[in-house]
């Protein structure tokens, strides 16, 4: 899978109604996406499969659907207010803003060539570098030579310049305010009163943050915290015995500095997380159990399971709350990258919330007659990132010979039948002789059974098959002259293109059986 194929997938997503750029007619909003008629079906199918496996097929996991906006103290206690930040830097030459920890690495003293978008910008940058930083550089077209890397260990990812601002920590949480009190009013009053007059930039920033903080609330950056905060309510109301889990799916928001690779990293995305509470001392066993379970789940719906791998975090990579962590990674067109993290969060979160809320958060094990704070194993997956993975996994191009004997490219989205947005298409061979009526009757039988079926009569039958191959419909049923005579219908398999006849009266049960894989 190359970058070129990635572009083909992005374009297929728009053309066929999977994913659109948000606010497209206004030029789009950076890193925000809308899931169209087929995208929403695919997303719901992935979410449904996760819920089925994680909640409905088990007795030890229950669900939760919590608010996106929670009490601000939650984020104080969890450490997100002080620690959930990226190191942000501005390039003083090309003015781009980037994450220091994602910038290209260089060694101090390395020669670097700075490249600007055009000759005019390169000329202006040459004067700026000489005057502002006192460094002699020479220019060849749009490239400047003569600068060397400093002790930061990285350069600007856009132009390669080593001339940058200081790093500042940028909190990834979106802040808004709750209630009728407008923080701007408080800031205006402070300015009017002269309270801010003599403050330097740093003090002014702190003061303004404090003024805004009084009514500040945050859009959740992960779904996980609600499961910790509601631990007692859920455990007591459902009389749950440890080990047990709480699962949740929903929107999370992060003001990501670098948004990249289509829907891979965006500011608004969906997560599927589960907090599994266990007795301390049994946590290593459960960690192994959940990593195996989650890996098996992702591979189950894939055509290329070898593109998934498990990567343990090195000690210096571990989040402050985690005792151990594995990433389930996928081989994206740009290399291996994270899809899901499985972390041993110990008793960190329950402990922090107990302390901050002054609530005793403990579990009493009646059989063992002992009290303890459970440890937590957390499989945390990205739903929208998973959708990208299954789009990449499904995309196939193959050369086939058409009905006129010519070779052509067939694009097939080989979605697992349980994930496919449309399960079955019903196609009248021609638009006459009672075939459309019969086809509609069959579609209605599917819809009545909750199976997403589509009626399609536009264009020649070959083109219709191709259209459904491209959106990943696993089965096409074609109504022809024989259907009206003998009550049989052709069923075509998307992947093998093989066709066979089945009885119309068996169509729903046959497809249901094929979907139950
Ligand atoms: N509760 C732990 C937690 O949120 P995480 O590794 O930050 O852990 C879990 O997020 C998963 O959420 C990631 O593995 C990824 O699939 C998804 N995710 C995180 N940030 C994302 C973003 N900006 N855009 C899309 N998906 C994201």
**Is the pTM value of this prediction over 0.85?**
yes
Q: Which of 338, 344, 388, 390 has most ligand 1 atoms within 8 Å of CB, for mutation?
A: 338
Ligand 1 centroid vs 402 CA: distance in angstroms?
44
Q: Which atom, in ligand 1's list, is nearest to the CA of 382?
A: 16
Q: Which of 291, 322, 380, 388 has most ligand 1 atoms within 8 Å of CB, for mutation?
A: 380
Ligand 1 centroid vs 53 CA: distance in angstroms?
20
Residue 1 is predicted with a pLDDT of: 60
Q: Which atom, in ligand 1's list, is nearest to the CA of 381?
A: 11
**Residues 420, 473 contacting (CB under 8 angstroms):** yes
**Residues 390, 339 contacting (CB under 8 angstroms):** no
Ligand 1 centroid vs 30 CA: distance in angstroms?
18
Ligand 1 centroid vs 319 CA: distance in angstroms?
13
Ligand 1 centroid vs 474 CA: distance in angstroms?
30
Residue 468 is predicted with a pLDDT of: 98
Which protein residues touch ligand 1 with a CB less than 6 Å away? 222, 224, 254, 256, 265-266, 269, 271, 273, 338-341, 380-382, 384-385
Closest alpha carbon to 251 in 29, 379, 41, 69: 69
**Residues 173, 254 contacting (CB under 8 angstroms):** yes
Ligand 1 centroid vs 463 CA: distance in angstroms?
39
Ligand 1 centroid vs 381 CA: distance in angstroms?
7
Nearest CA to ligand 1 atom 18: 382
pLDDT tens for the 517 residues of the chain, in order = 667 889 999 999 999 999 999 999 999 988 899 999 999 999 999 999 999 999 999 999 999 999 999 999 999 999 998 888 888 898 999 988 888 988 999 999 999 999 999 999 999 999 999 999 999 999 999 999 999 999 999 999 999 999 999 888 888 999 998 888 778 888 888 899 988 888 888 788 888 888 887 789 999 999 999 999 999 999 999 999 999 999 999 999 999 987 889 999 999 999 999 999 999 999 999 999 999 999 999 999 999 999 999 999 998 888 878 899 999 999 999 999 999 999 999 999 999 999 999 999 999 999 999 999 999 999 999 999 999 999 999 999 999 988 788 999 999 999 999 999 999 999 999 999 999 999 999 999 999 999 999 999 999 999 999 999 999 999 999 999 999 999 999 999 999 999 999 999 999 999 999 998 8
Residue 301 to residue 311: CA distance in whole angstroms: 20
Q: Which of 225, 250, 259, 269 has most ligand 1 atoms within 8 Å of CB, for mutation?
A: 269
Ligand 1 centroid vs 378 CA: distance in angstroms?
12
Residue 11 is predicted with a pLDDT of: 96
Ligand 1 centroid vs 271 CA: distance in angstroms?
7
**Residues 68, 219 contacting (CB under 8 angstroms):** yes
Nearest CA to ligand 1 atom 22: 265
Nearest CA to ligand 1 atom 19: 382
Backbone angles phi, psi at 56, to 5 degrees: -70, -30
DSSP letter, residue 337: E
Q: What is the dihedral of CA 173, 175, 178, 184, to 10 degrees?
A: 170
| Angstrom distances, CA of residue 302 to CA of 41, 327, 354, 511 | 18, 18, 41, 20
């Amino acid at each position: 899978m190359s970058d070129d194929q990635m572009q083909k997938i992005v374009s297929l997503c728009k053309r066929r109604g999977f994913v659109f750029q948000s606010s497209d007619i206004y030029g789009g909003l950076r890193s925000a996406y809308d899931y169209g008629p087929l995208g929403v079906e695919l997303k719901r199918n992935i979410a449904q499969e996760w819920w089925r496996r994680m909640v409905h097929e088990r007795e030890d996991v229950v669900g939760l659907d919590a608010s996106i906006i929670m009490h601000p103290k939650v984020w104080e206690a969890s450490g997100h207010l002080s620690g959930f930040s990226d190191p942000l830097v501005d390039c003083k030459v090309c003015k781009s803003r980037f994450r220091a920890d994602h910038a290209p690495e260089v060694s101090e003293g390395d020669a670097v060539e700075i490249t600007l978008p055009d000759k005019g910008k390169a000329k202006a940058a040459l004067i700026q570098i000489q005057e502002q930083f006192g460094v002699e550089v020479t220019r060849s077209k749009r490239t400047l030579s003569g600068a060397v890397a400093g002790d930061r260990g990285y350069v600007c990812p856009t132009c390669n310049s080593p001339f940058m601002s200081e790093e500042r920590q940028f909190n990834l949480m979106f802040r808004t305010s709750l209630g009728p009190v407008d923080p701007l009013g408080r800031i205006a009053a402070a300015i009017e009163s002269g309270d801010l007059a003599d403050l330097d930039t740093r003090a002014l920033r702190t003061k303004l943050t404090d003024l805004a903080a009084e009514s500040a609330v945050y859009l959740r950056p992960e779904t996980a915290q609600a499961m910790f905060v509601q631990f007692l309510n859920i455990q007591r109301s459902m009389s749950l015995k440890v080990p047990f889990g709480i699962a949740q799916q929903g929107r999370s928001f992060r003001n990501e500095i670098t948004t990249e690779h289509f829907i891979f990293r965006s500011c608004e995305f969906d997560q599927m997380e589960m907090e599994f509470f266990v007795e301390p001392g049994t946590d290593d066993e459960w960690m192994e159990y959940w990593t195996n379970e989650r890996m098996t789940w992702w591979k189950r719906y894939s055509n290329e399971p070898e593109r998934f791998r498990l990567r343990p975090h090195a000690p210096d990579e571990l989040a402050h709350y985690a005792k151990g962590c594995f990433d389930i990674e996928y081989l994206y067109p740009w290399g291996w990258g994270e899809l899901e993290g499985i972390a041993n969060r110990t008793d960190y979160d329950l402990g922090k919330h107990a302390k901050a809320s002054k609530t005793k958060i403990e579990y009493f094990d009646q059989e063992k007659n002992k009290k303890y704070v459970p440890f937590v194993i957390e499989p945390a997956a990205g739903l929208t990132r998973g959708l990208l993975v299954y789009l990449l996994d499904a995309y196939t191009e193959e050369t086939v010979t058409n009905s006129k004997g010519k070779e052509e490219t067939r694009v097939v989205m080989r979605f697992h039948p349980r994930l496919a947005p449309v399960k079955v298409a019903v196609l009248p061979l021609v638009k006459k002789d009672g075939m459309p009526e019969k086809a509609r009757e069959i579609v209605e039988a599917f819809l009545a059974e909750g199976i997403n079926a589509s009626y399609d009569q536009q264009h020649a039958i070959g083109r219709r098959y191709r259209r459904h191959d491209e959106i990943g419909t696993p089965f096409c049923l074609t109504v022809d002259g024989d259907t009206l005579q003998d009550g049989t219908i052709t069923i075509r398999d998307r992947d093998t293109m093989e066709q066979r006849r089945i009885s119309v009266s068996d169509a729903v049960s046959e497809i249901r059986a094929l979907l139950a894989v």
